[in-house]
Amino acid sequence: MLKPNDLPLVCLPIDLEDEAAAALVEFLHELTETLERHYGAQLTRYYRATDIAQRDVDVTDPPF
């Protein structure tokens, strides 16, 4: 969680030409796909464990 004095993780340029914006977004999509392929098994394990843990929650217990 960022705190008020933390520097931003990413500093995006304010003005991008249309072509540059499209290239940036395409790069980010490709990066995401590469990360998902590389870490796919780990992501699957994590989300399955999270789903199982959420099923064990007592739905009749009020949240507050």
- pLDDT tens for each residue of 1-54: 667 667 776 777 888 999 999 999 999 999 999 999 999 999 999 999 888 777
Contact 46, 53 (CB under 8 A): no
Contact 16, 24 (CB under 8 A): yes
- What is the C-alpha separation between 42 and 36, in angstroms, rounded? 9
pLDDT reported for residue 61: 72
- Hey, where are the domains in the chain? 17-41
Name the more confident of 38 and 58: 38
**Which residues have CB under 8 Å from 16's CB, separation 6+?**
24
pLDDT reported for residue 26: 97
Task: State the DSSP code for 13.
Answer: -
Helix 40-55 and helix 18-38, axial crossing angle in degrees, nearest 10: 70
pTM over 0.75? The answer is no
